[in-house]
Structure 1
Amino acid sequence: MHIHLFERVHKLERVRNRGRAKTGLHGLAVGLLLTLALAIGAKYLAVLPLLGVMGQLVLAILLGIILRAAAGVPERAAPGIQFSAKKLLRAGIILLGLRLNITDIIQAGPKVLAIAVIHIVFTLITVYLLGKAMNIDRRLGILTACGTAICGAAAVAAVAPQIKADDNEIAVSAATVAVLGTIFTMVYIAAYPLLGLSEAGYGIFAGATLHEVAHVLAASAPVGQQAADLAVIVKLSRVALLAPVALGLGLWENRRLRKQTAEERKDSRNSDVKSTSRSFPVPWFIGGFLVMSGVNTLGFLPGKLTADLLVLAYLLLAMAMAGLGLGIDLTTFGRLGRKPFAAGLAGSMLLSLLGYVLIHVMGLK
């Protein structure tokens, strides 16, 4: 009798476990489909003239925020939303490496690379210090600085795991940088006749100072093909520096945690900090990003396949951004976003001014 009872209990437990697994898979599928729908919607919205300047990634975040505010998010979709925000994000960043052709960047000349390096270093330091002066959370300040300096939402997404930023900080930083980039794009187009730059000089200026690749294309394409080509090459020179910046920030964060651990060593109960400080901050997806840029540079893949994989990269990144947006409450967004926007605005203005001066000093106008 006891044996039969044990068998029945064991059988019930197996049925429950199967039910939980089924529910988990169902939630994963629902969340993935939801973020996929938002990513596709963002892609089609990005075709529209005004919205196109913002780009698919930012529109995906905004659609996620709007959907949550208007209709809420089904609880069962949480596993799929989290999978999109974490796992698909990393996969998208790896494939994004296919945008880079190191040969094109080298052929553009040392002046172009020098401008990219100077701008990134200047912007990272300036926006971070502005954020510190305005009492912005350290991680939020770093993410806003990276998004402004390197390549917008993609840079924010790549750096966030290195400094252990949460979803609110990622979404606020990405949206802040995107809005700023959109404003500056429209200002650049209107100001082009007044800048006194050649088509080539304007292309270098736009590529060196605007935030997202979408902003660079939107600002340079109306001026001419030469401007657009040079703008993209200069912009990709900044994107190429994403990996070393992310690794550098990871090492800096690791060192900060070690120092913090040393100061708190007397408190033996603080085991979380001790274990975190031992981890080596080299994220596998940054390695994948570099491998993919090498694959593209060496021409291992046909052009059509590379183009298709890049479309997939932006789809995966858009799904990740949608997942982040679905986790953001508008009240939190409004509370966190004001100061980073002010710091990013000041940093962007200084970046544009520096870029304009460097174009003249280096004889690239």
Structure 2
Amino acid sequence: MATVPATPSLAPTHDTRGRLNGILFVALFALAATQLAALPFFANLGISPLIVGIIAGALYGNALRQGVPPSWAAGINFSARGLLRIAVAWFGLRVSLQEIAQVGWSGLTVSLLVVSSTLLIGLGVGMKLFKLDRDTALLTAAGSAICGAAAVLAFESALRSKPHKSAMAVGSVVLFGTLSMLLYPLLINSGWVRLDTLGAGLFFGGTLHEVAQVVGAASNVSPEVTHVATIVKMTRVMLLVPVLLVVGIWISRAKRQGQAEGNGKIPVPWFAFGFLALVLVNSLQILPSGAVSAINQLDTFALTMAMTALGMETRLSQIRQAGPRALATGAILNLWLVFGGLAITLGVQRLFG
């Protein structure tokens, strides 16, 4: 007698429930991180929910991870990988070509010079001087060069690197970005560094790590400096796409020449093209401003979930192996951003002044 094939069940499987439970767990954790970041202490320091999320996730992952059911791991992994790529793409709605045009060639030139020089110095110092592996050096350099934790997330996704390497890079961003955010207004307001409104905006937006740090530091100088600095910072964010593509080509060539592991294929970051497409959407003003604002809030929460999940997958024992060397690389990069960035700002102002 012929066997009748079983009808597939439409009910959620155990694996599906576990994945959903893992995602919900990360979401609740990220919600708590968002509430903490809104407290005056964190808000005044310009510490974003992303930073609070990865720290809280790492603390939980190393102290209490045994309490998480194994079936939830897939949901945590999805939040740290799949959701991350989607969130980075939607980050493009924060940038518009009109804003970039407002600061003209000065802002674009400062952004290009700072991003390219910081990446090259980070790779050289990290890999040659401190003997870091390629991924750790590149993640640390990207966080300093482009847009802090968001850049680390984007590169982590493209490189498919291990979570503890991202945690080290984010730690560098947190430490040195916060120190610079406190230092920059002091330099300008005390008169130790003399820059006009445009120059101060170029300096702040072109060299500070996080978007929140740029706003926090510049708001202690003037609204006009804050406006220019924010636009310059978003110009640096815009460079995330071409930098990811260049890095993909570089890694592919290294693989073909036998200098790196892998199959030789270019790791095309599809989310980078999504980022660029949404920049164009925002520039064309297709979506209502209220919708853009709501999407950006959801996107920040999604990025916070991704950072929280990365923290949960991070082990402090792995960080300790290269922590001092990664921090030393971040320290040198921060010195370059302060002094080299100031020199670039003054040079560009003379060039276009």
* Whole-angstrom CA distance in 1 between matches of 2:293 and 2:229: 19
Map 1:1-365 to 2 at 5 A. Answer: 22-52=13-43, 53-73=46-66, 74=68, 75-132=70-127, 133-192=129-188, 193=190, 194-260=192-258, 273=262, 276-277=263-264, 279-363=265-349
SS in 2 for 1:363: helix
Describe the superposition over 1:268-310 as per-residue Cα deviations: whole angstroms up to 9, x where unpaired.
xxxx84xx21x33322111100000000001111111111111
SS in 2 for 1:260: coil
The total of aligned residue pairs comes to: 344
CA distance in 2, matches of 1:114, 1:51: 32
- 1:223 counterpart SS class: coil
User: Would the aligned equivalents of 2:111 and 2:236 in 1 still touch at CA under 8 Å?
Assistant: yes
Distance 2:255 2:273 in 1: 23
Cα contact 2:22–2:75 (8 A) shared by 1 = yes
CA RMSD in angstroms, aligned pairs only: 2.3
From the superposition, tell whether residues 90 and 247 of structure 1 become closer, same or farther in structure 2 (CA, over 3 Å).
same
- Normalised by the length of structure 2, the TM-score is 0.91
Write the distance in 2 (CA, Å) between the matches of 1:348 and 1:99: 25
SS across alignment from 1:281: coil
User: How big is each residue's C-alpha offset from its partner over 1:239-292, in whole Å with a ceiling of 9 and x where there is no partner?
Assistant: 11000000000011111111118x9xxxxxxxx84xx21x33322111100000
- Identify unmatched segments of 5+ residues in structure 1: 264-271
User: Do the aligned residues in 2 keep the contact of 1:176 with 1:337 (CA within 8 Å)?
Assistant: no
Largest Rg, 1 or 2: 1
Tell me the alpha carbon deviations over residues 97-133 of structure 1, each in whole angstroms, 9 at most, x when there is no partner: 0011012112311111101000011100111111011
**Identity percentage of aligned residues:** 31
TM-score of the superposed pair, with normalisation by structure 1: 0.88
Name the CA distance, whole Å, in 2 between partners of 1:81 and 1:50.
29
Letter in 1 for 2:272: I
In the TM superposition, what is the alpha-carbon distance from 1:18 to its structure 2 partner? 8.6
* Counterpart contact for 1:60–1:325, Cα < 8 Å: yes
Q: Which runs of 5+ in 2 are unaligned?
A: none
